[in-house]
Amino acid sequence: MILNILLLTFAYMIGSIPTALTMGRRLAGVDVRQTGDGNMGARNASRTFGTRAGVLVALVDFAKGALPVALTTSLGYPLSWQMAAGVCTVLGHDFPLFAKFAGGQGLSTTCGAFFVLLPLETSIGMFLWAVLYALMHHPDLSAGVGLGFTLTLAFFLNRPWFLLVYIAGMFLFIPVKMLLDAPRRERIRRRSETPPVQENPSKPTS
Q: Supply the DSSP symbol for 29.
A: S
Contact partners, residue 177, CB within 8 Å, separation at least 6: 94, 104, 105, 106
Contact partners, residue 122, CB within 8 Å, separation at least 6: 111, 114, 115, 150
C-alpha 202/C-alpha 206 separation (Å) is 12
Tens-place pLDDT, residues 27-86:
888 888 888 888 888 888 988 888 898 999 999 999 999 999 999 999 999 999 999 999
| pTM for this entry | 0.87
DSSP labels, 71-103? HHHHTT--HHHHHHHHHHHHHHHHS-GGGTT--
Tens-place pLDDT, residues 150-193:
999 999 999 999 999 999 999 999 999 989 988 877 877 777 66
Q: What per-residue confidence (pLDDT) applies to 206?
A: 45
Does the pLDDT of residue 195 top 80, yes or no?
A: no
Range with the poorest average pLDDT among 9-23, 30-44, 65-79, 121-135:
30-44
C-alpha 28/C-alpha 23 separation (Å) is 8
Q: What per-residue confidence (pLDDT) applies to 192?
A: 65
Q: What per-residue confidence (pLDDT) applies to 200?
A: 55
Q: Is 198 or 107 the better-scoring residue by pLDDT?
A: 107
Contact partners, residue 145, CB within 8 Å, separation at least 6: 128, 129, 132
Q: What per-residue confidence (pLDDT) applies to 61?
A: 96
In one letter, which amino acid is 51? T
Q: What per-residue confidence (pLDDT) applies to 202?
A: 53
